[in-house]
Structure 1
């Protein structure tokens, strides 16, 4: 073994990775099942977790080496929101799109079919509806609150918001504990299949090609195990490329993911929305161009600084951060673009021209990361200190 080769050997060969049973953990599962991990000198040991809070705590304790985790959760921990501040690392983005905003069948039958009709219902009702997300600083909370505000609904005053693990959403909707929620698939489609929910919006309608879950770890793990992290990123890139290569691969992935040790469901619950086929539960069907993506020629996976900064801007907007943070400094510290670039080179994954990207969200407001404090303060509905 040459000195150069020795320097690239993973410091830890068996990597324990946590995940929640959601469709968007697929590239981690397939990296393990198809042997992409072993190709890069590691073995992924998957650990099914029950809640995002549990994932956070196990990353902090070192019980997990890395995890399929909410982008916004990682940035919340980095900022010390709601708990002890810890230095974190985002190794890559795992997916784009693939979430949904769902309300109860009762609201749907009462005429709530979109954001405007939900706003009318909220104004007319004597009781505040109860809506759920999956973690206070996480993707679903920030997307739900952004979307509600775009409809003229103040998420901190006009509705009750609570945290519910994704796998419990449908049951809580069925029993009337919730009037709606934002969660990852298959829990949006499951409510439709069970006849208890109505899809108001896919998450790509809130933010087209928004970042999803990330491959997250502690900054200490990334610092101590750079070769392991590089190999892990490379394996997951190859798995994501395989998933996105064909519809046949997507269906094979759905069959694998549905197995008892992973999501413990039927492939038929995963396949339609994986293929972009949506229905709202009231008879409307459509093909969603913003379906769940895992690779997209690398555009999905690059850890754009502006993506991380968007979550911090929303934490600031909703009063979770009292003082203005160093948006760009935090993103540069958390998002390990250096490790990602090296893994991309190993796997032949295209890289973008820059570390920032621009998007236009559902309210027509453009986000490009250029002035995050002004962005956070510019909304008509917000709770900045």
Structure 2
């Protein structure tokens, strides 16, 4: 893969100084790389990265205007635009920062119980969920308290990927488990203190638990949904309208950083060192480096992340619509809301195409995935504006295809 040229005859940004919010996670790598490797500077931007302690504090910072833009969970722009999340604030995203990167981790004690009811092993994610259902049923018969699982935020991919995995195994998340919200950096300590039996979180917090012997990774987000979008670049709609050239400069810089990350294994290793030595992650560089390896570098795919390949950066409306359908499935989104209008407002492939075209990138021609989300069991080819795009499997754990 060739690096994307970051220079060109672009409209100068209306303002050079931009403040970006982030959380200490492996998949913040595009923001850190764009700063430390000079991609922001090449686009005429002077960027300050602000490390927040939780998604709630990041949300508040963006909604109050303390942050100009932010690494956000895929559902946060929709939730903010609909007024579900804090102050009703129109927020849009024109760039997906990565696919995958999450995993489900359980305590060694729970893992041992899962092995007891699955003597042939736990290699298949669907069978893992079914084994958990058997453990849950046994605990209910014995009068034991529900197992405690956590995700990172009420409006997060983690919450709905975890629920999809549980339901595929025959577990009712609301009836059978105690589900909680815990900020990512606190997951491992909560597991070690016995306050949690499992969680769904992004790296490095799964591999950290494994390295300390306090957790066992069951499956990653790609095993639940092969094309699961994770983080996006979020900006307030009013900010994007006021500073359109600045917004496009941000998009170009981050696109270049994402391509750089997926270019070579050496770039992933360099990014891991940037994250740790730059003070963005207070975790062993070895743990971060392992979680940032390209999928082709390791036999284990747990927590694997794609930053650019397979049209990873394109903001498919069908992907956000799937998450919204899961919100409706579990009663977290009022069916009477004008969802399509909100999607058109906060998921902006048109703005992505403008920035990508300036970098001479081939873009998908449609705003929704051809054939539906989950329709592709293996590699496939997507027609693009500047040539075909190599795509990867995007199957769901239960084989369903989402076309709504």
Normalising by the residue count of structure 1, what TM-score does the alignment of the two structures yield? 0.89
1:169 equivalenced with 2:187 (yes/no)? yes
Note the 1:1-385 alignment, pairs <5 A.
Answer: 8-112=11-115, 113=122, 114-125=128-139, 126-275=144-293, 286-288=299-301, 291-296=304-309, 299-357=311-369, 358-360=372-374, 361-368=396-403, 371=404
The C-alpha deviation readout for 1:193-223, integer Å capped at 9, x for no partner, is 1101111111100100210100001111111
Q: What is the DSSP-based 3-state SS (H/G/I as helix, E as strand, rest coil) of the residue aligned with 1:57? A: helix
Residue of structure 1 in register with 2:380 after alignment: none
The C-alpha deviation readout for 1:127-167, integer Å capped at 9, x for no partner, is 21010001111111111111111111111111011110000
The C-alpha deviation readout for 1:283-337, integer Å capped at 9, x for no partner, is xx9432983011116x010111111212211121111122333333221110122
CA positional deviation for 1:277: 6.8
CA 1:258–1:32: 2 relative to 1, 3 Å? same
Tell me, in whole angstroms, the C-alpha distance in 1 between the residues paired with 2:59 and 2:157. 14
2:129–2:166 Cα contact (<8 Å) kept: yes
Aligned length: 358
CA 1:276–1:196: 2 relative to 1, 3 Å? farther
Tell me, in whole angstroms, the C-alpha distance in 2 between the residues paired with 1:48 and 1:362. 34
CA 1:272–1:310: 2 relative to 1, 3 Å? same
Q: What is the DSSP-based 3-state SS (H/G/I as helix, E as strand, rest coil) of the residue aligned with 1:258? A: helix
CA positional deviation for 1:77: 1.6
Residue of structure 2 in register with 1:378 after alignment: none
The C-alpha deviation readout for 1:215-259, integer Å capped at 9, x for no partner, is 001111111111111000000000111110001111111111122
RMSD: 2.0
Tell me, in whole angstroms, the C-alpha distance in 2 between the residues paired with 1:99 and 1:240. 18
CA positional deviation for 1:347: 1.7
CA 1:16–1:337: 2 relative to 1, 3 Å? same
Q: What is the DSSP-based 3-state SS (H/G/I as helix, E as strand, rest coil) of the residue aligned with 1:91? A: strand
Unaligned runs of 5+ in 1: 279-284, 372-385
1:88–1:218 Cα contact (<8 Å) kept: yes
2:95–2:315 Cα contact (<8 Å) kept: yes
Tell me, in whole angstroms, the C-alpha distance in 2 between the residues paired with 1:67 and 1:321. 24
CA positional deviation for 1:62: 0.3
CA positional deviation for 1:350: 1.7
List structure 1 runs of 4+ shifted beyond 4 angstroms: none
CA positional deviation for 1:6: 11
2:262–2:294 Cα contact (<8 Å) kept: no
Unaligned runs of 5+ in 2: 1-7, 116-121, 123-127, 375-395
CA positional deviation for 1:11: 1.5
Residue of structure 1 in register with 2:119 after alignment: none
Q: What is the DSSP-based 3-state SS (H/G/I as helix, E as strand, rest coil) of the residue aligned with 2:356? A: helix
Tell me, in whole angstroms, the C-alpha distance in 1 between the residues paired with 2:145 and 2:332. 26
